[in-house]
Each structure stands twice: as structure tokens, then as C-alpha cells.
Structure 1
């Protein structure tokens, strides 16, 4: 088809407004999937808070839906594990000797440590479990380990209530004290530590999935070295080894929780210092490592 330009058409084109030059600043544009600056990344993470809360609630609601007892297993699992430790270590091996109210001592230790074990392992595996979301949507990837930790914090709420009821119901009965309120900042610092450690391990587990299995094994070693079913001061005579126990943030979580709930003792300032430094130091390091690897999480493997 041949289009001929008539004088009328030429006049119609020339009567329009003159073309304008639009200046567009492309200096702040980024390719899709690139890592933003850390401060901007934190702003984006805060903007994802509604997604984090929704995802945490969904994860919590479906976590035990395939079982008959449902969320009761959040309490039954550590309670049954505690019964096993009580029979083997407390009665057969005598680790309860010299420990006041050993049953409460054991229950508090297991229920508090299981929270960290569950949250750290799940947070480290968050990139693999959330692969579909990562490849389908654009959002700060740190929202996934955060969502998992929020879910586990919600789950721990049921466990804490059950733990307090057990401390009140199982002889010898412990009196209610204002120190029980100190459990709130202890759990808050523990949660920050869990999130930071999960982010620290997530890039490595993403690259080498076998590390996830090794991490589960490492958490068992961590559990046995945190004084779950024994008082380290009864078995450790070298002060240098005792310093290693006291530098262990999860040992401090257990020790401080027991002091507040069972023994009516206010944790000392140096214990708070160890836990605060470990929690925020691990979180800052974990966030930086996780952010540095942000661009690798959507890679096909």
C-alpha cells in the first residue's frame, strides 16, 4: 500500500505542538535483583513487615495441621525429651545430684534451648524452603528468616505458658516472683540472636545444602555443652573451661531463665552484657553477610 502525502495532511502534522525533549535522570535506576545499599535494604525490610506477619501466621497455622494433637506437640516434644534426659542422665547417671528442683531445671533448659535450635536451623534453611517466593517476587530476602523467627516466637509463647504452669504445678512448687518478668527481655535477646545466627548460616546452606544437616548435628553438640541436664560447675574444675561455658550465649539464656523462674535470683550485670553483645553482635554480622549475598539467592542451581 502506498500512502501519498497531501497538502492537507502536511498542514495537519505541522499544526501540532512542537516535539519536546524530556530529560530523565537514570542515575538512581537499578537492575532488577541487584543488592540495594544496606540502609535502603533495612527500609525495604521494614516495608515488608505486613508480609512477614502474615507469612508467620500462615506458617504457624499449618505447622502441625497434619497431626491429631496439633500445636500440643510444641510442648509435648520438649517434655518427652526432658523425660528421657531425666531417666537416663538424672536417675541413671546422677546428674541431678546437687541441683535444686532438678525437674524444673531440666524443663526450663530444654524448652528454652529447643526454641533456639528450631529457629536457627529453620532460618538457615529459609532460602531453600522459600525458593518459589524468591524467584516469583521482588522483596528483601531477609524477610524470610525474619518470618520464620516470628513464627517460632509465636510458637514459643505456647511453650512459655506451659513451662510456667509446670514450674508452678510440679513439686517442689516455686513462688511467683517479679523476676519472672525478666523472662521477657531474655526471650527478646534470644530471638535477636536466633535471627542473626540463622541469617549468618543461610548463604552457606544455600550454596551447600549439606551444611543444613551438619548444622542440625552441631545444634545437638551445642545442646549438650550448654548445661541442659547438668550444672557445669559440678563437673568443671578448671576456670578456663568454665569461662567457655559462661561465654556461650545459650548457656546464659538457660542460666538466667532458671535463676528468674526457679531460684528467685536476679541475673548479674555481666550475664546481661554477654547476652546483649552476643545477640546484637550476631545479628549485625548475620545481617551484613546475608545482605552481601542478596543477589545470589535467586540463582538457578
Structure 2
């Protein structure tokens, strides 16, 4: 009968000698480089994070515009047909039935410029109210600068807007009363850039405050409709005095940013004139001011989104 083998006794002295011979190192753990999850980064870093995602935002906008058009039979034709149909409807109501075309040179061009350009801002502001509230699950699941959501809305509408602008140019320069192409048209892109800046700032501002006041999602479309009628989309600014309105209405109208956008584009395209300096200053002030206010207010509430 064999006895089980037993392990030799542990030589603790050898292990202690080995431990004493090993070099002693001390590591200091600091929390200085750690940040709280979901914390709002500084404004400069926030802008850098958005800029780093610019390619994704642009490709995502292109993909969404393409996917939306593929779901319908006419596809991207709807990007052109929708504003054309709206313009035709407003022409029949205001131009033919209500006689708003009296005293307006090239009322068709006057009307389609108003309808096409105002529709871009309306869609961006309406989409901006839902940009954050409709993506709550994604905000809770991923860490990214939340301003990317309203920016993505404006990018998608901008891509659709380019198709509408091509249709607008065709209507103005091919349909009766045809306009003469002049060098003043080169000023139109500058006006449109200011419009996009203003619209982006407004979309950011509305996206931020709709999170706090959910009723804004319902109120904004109603206010946009009033804004549409107050921006001289269907009638001429010069006819306000003929309608017996007090001069204060004309003053308020001139400080309306969308009125300035429409009026300046009409000057360049329809009347071959350069918008005056006052118009540039008013629209430029609205564009820069609204973009700064909208972006900063959205950034300041960064930590509240998704709660």
C-alpha cells in the first residue's frame, strides 16, 4: 500500500527574499483627465466635435434624401413638383381670384420666388422642433454633440432646396414673362447663404426650447403660416400704403428677415437691381445674430437632452 505524495512545505523565506529584491514602484492615479459621462464640453471643443463629424452628417443627409425619394413613384421629381404645385395653387387664389397680381411686374416670378424660398425656412424650423424630441432613444444610447440633430435636418432640407432652386430658375427664365439674365444674379448665392445661416440658428433655437416646452411643436407651424403672409410672398410691399395701412406696418415688414431674403432675391433676379446697403445690414445682422444665439443656447442645454 502506497502513501499519497505530499507537497514540500512552502518556503516563505524564499518568497519574501524575492519580494524584497524586486524594485519598488509607486503609481499615482489622478482623476484630472477624467470627465463625467454626458457632461457638456467647452464651446470650442463642442464645435471641434461637430466639425469632426461633418462627413458623416453630409453623407447621412444625402442618403436620407435619396431613401425618401425612392419610396415614392415619382422619386426626386417630388422635390420639384411640391413647390411648383404650391406656387400654382397660390397663383390661382391670390393672383387670379383675389387680384393680388395687379401692379406687380412678372407676378409669376414674384410669387414662385416667395413660395420656393420661404418653404425652405418653414421646413427647417418645423423639422427643428422635432429634431431632439424624436431622437430621445438615440441620445440616450450614444454620446455625440446633440447639435448634430438639428444640423442634419437643415442639411437634408438644403439638399432638397437645391433641386427646388433649379426648378425656380427654369420657371423664371423659360416661362412668360421671361426675365433677362444679368450679372446681379451672382449676388443671389450670397443672399441664400445668409438665409441658411439664419434658418440654421432658428432651427437650433427651436430644437432647444421644444425640449422644455413641447407645445412649440404645435405652435411653430401656426406661427409660420402667419409669418408667410407677413413676408410679402403673395403681394407687393409697395401696395401696403394703397391698402390704407399705417406706416408702422411697413417699418416692421422691413425688419422681417424673410421679407429681406425675398425682396433681395427679387431685386437681383426680376428687376436687375442691387439690393441697398440697409437690406444687407438687416439680413446680415439677423443671420449672424440668430446663428450665434441659437447655437449657444442649444449648447448650454446640452446636458438636458434625453432625460
Instruction: Report the TM-score when normalising by structure 2.
Output: 0.91
TM-fit CA distance, 1:129: 2.9
Q: How does 1:43-62 map to 2 (within 5 A)?
A: 43-62=48-67
2:119 alignment partner in structure 1? 114
Match of 1:151 among 135, 142, 156: 156
Cα pair 1:48 1:139 within 8 Å, conserved: no
- Are the aligned partners of 1:196 and 1:286 in contact in 2 as well (CA < 8 Å)? yes
- What is the alpha-carbon distance in structure 1 between the residues aligned to residue 224 and residue 253 of structure 2? 15
Q: Distance in 2 between matches of 1:220 and 1:130?
A: 26
Note if contact 2:130-2:217 (Cα within 8 Å) is conserved in structure 1: yes
**Structure with max Cα Rg:** 2
1:171 aligns with 2:176: yes
Paired position in structure 2 for 1:7: 13
Question: What number of residue pairs does the alignment pair up?
Answer: 296
Structure 2 distance, partners of 1:74, 1:256, is 24
Identify the match of residue 289 of structure 1 among 289, 297, 302. 297
Aligned residue in 2 for 1:258:
266
- CA-atom RMSD, angstroms? 1.7
User: Structure 1 pair 243/288, CA: closer, same or farther in 2 (3 Å)?
Assistant: same
1:59 is displaced (CA, Å) by 2.1
The residue number in structure 2 matching 1:41 is: 46
Q: What does 1:1-301 align with in structure 2 at a 5 Å threshold? A: 6-22=12-28, 24=30, 26-236=31-241, 237-299=245-307
TM-score, normalised with respect to structure 1: 0.93
Deviates more, 1:277-286 or 1:123-132: 123-132
Deviations 1:28-62 (A, max 9, x none): 53201011222222222222212221222222222
In structure 1, what is the Cα distance between the partners aligned to 2:76 and 2:223? 26
| Runs of 5+ unmatched residues, structure 2 | 1-8
Rounded to whole Å, the distance in 2 between the matches of 1:131 and 1:4 is 60
Q: Which runs of 5 or more structure 1 residues have no equivalent in the other structure? A: none
- Distance in 1 of aligned mates of 2:64 and 2:183: 33
